[in-house]
Amino acid sequence: MWTANNWKDYEVIDTSLGEKLERWGEYILVRPDPQVIWDTGQSDRRWKHMNGHYHRSSKGGGEWEFFNLPEEWSISYKELTFRLKPFSFKHTGLFPEQAVNWDWVSSIIKSAHRPVKVLNLFAYTGGATLACAKAGANVTHVDASKGMVAWAKENAAASGLAEAPIRYLVDDCVKFVEREIRRGNTYDAIIMDPPSYGRGPKGEIWKIEESIFPFIRLTTQILSKDALFYLVNSYTTGLQPAVLTYMIHTALVPAFGGFVESSEIGLPVTASGLVLPCGASGRWVS
């Protein structure tokens, strides 16, 4: 498993009975996690003294309960700073487990010793975008949500990257790639973090099981001949690491060569010394 174990401002303190106890900077949150099917006794006192608790509803969804938690605050990862604000369906605007991929893409970009163009699709609040930009890449950031793109710009400014070569686009990712193919534009690296289900700005429907492989194939048409890497993240249970490897290998290796490796990604849990699984990632390198 690839583990995001370089955090200082974030920590999974404990996991028990369908929930995880987390430290986000100086604030403690309790959020549901369907992977947590065990009971550790919840002996840490912070289970009873949290700043925010997301309660899942039996009818679907849920709601936050706050205890002296600001509307917004910041945490940092190495040289990057992220604005956090709890919002719908338990999220805070950041997936800390992705730090293991930020480190990976940063190292490749820095080692390239040449200009690198990165395309980040379904780019959310810009964690991977900022990691690539900080490493020296020119990044195109695409997400269908205007609010998420605005949030990514806030994170860039907080990280000292307001003037970095980042192009922000509110667009349907599939339609954007189709237009880039017609324009003849290419990228040296592609990152995507597709949702299990989503809608584009004009109501376009995305179902990952039906859409992901054709989309991966489509994006190979905008990879440069000397492409560096390709990264696909998945939080969908059915897309296990071996499935990611098979898709990426089938779409990329015959045309570009290189090597594909996939794994679960996770976060260390302080109380147990174990690693909490948090989805999977598939990586291709030239």
* Tens-digit pLDDT string for the chain (286 aa): 999 999 999 999 999 999 999 999 999 999 999 999 999 999 999 999 999 999 988 777 899 999 999 999 999 999 999 999 998 789 999 999 999 999 999 999 999 999 999 999 999 999 999 999 999 999 999 999 999 999 999 999 999 999 999 999 999 999 999 999 999 999 999 999 998 777 766 677 777 778 899 999 999 999 999 999 999 999 876 789 999 999 999 999 999 999 999 999 999 999 999 999 999 999 999 9
* Residue 90 within a domain: no
At 110, is the secondary structure helix, strand, or coil? helix
Choosing from 84, 111, 132, the residue where a domain stops is 84
Is 281 found in the same domain as 180? yes
Say yes or no: 58 and 173 in one domain: no
Any idea what the CATH number is for the domain that residue 155 is in? 3.40.50.150
b/e sequence 215-226, b meaning 16+ C-beta within 10 Å: bbebbbebbeee
DSSP of 154-182: HHHHHTT-TTSSEEEEES-HHHHHHHHHH
> Do the beta carbons of residue 67 and residue 51 sit within 8 Å?
yes
Of the residues 56, 84, 112, the one at which a domain ends: 84
38 lies in the same domain as 76: yes
Decide if 186 is inside a domain: yes
Residue 224's domain spans which residues? 96-285
Residues 62-96: tens digit of each pLDDT: 999 999 999 999 999 999 999 999 987 899 999 99
Q: Give the integer Cα–Cα distance in Å for 31 and 42.
A: 14
| 105 and 242, same domain (yes or no) | yes
Question: Is residue 116 domain-shared with residue 32, that is, in the same domain?
Answer: no
Count: domains in the chain: 2
Query: What does the pLDDT read at residue 66?
Result: 96
pTM for the model stands at: 0.94
Last residue of a domain, one of 64, 84, 104: 84
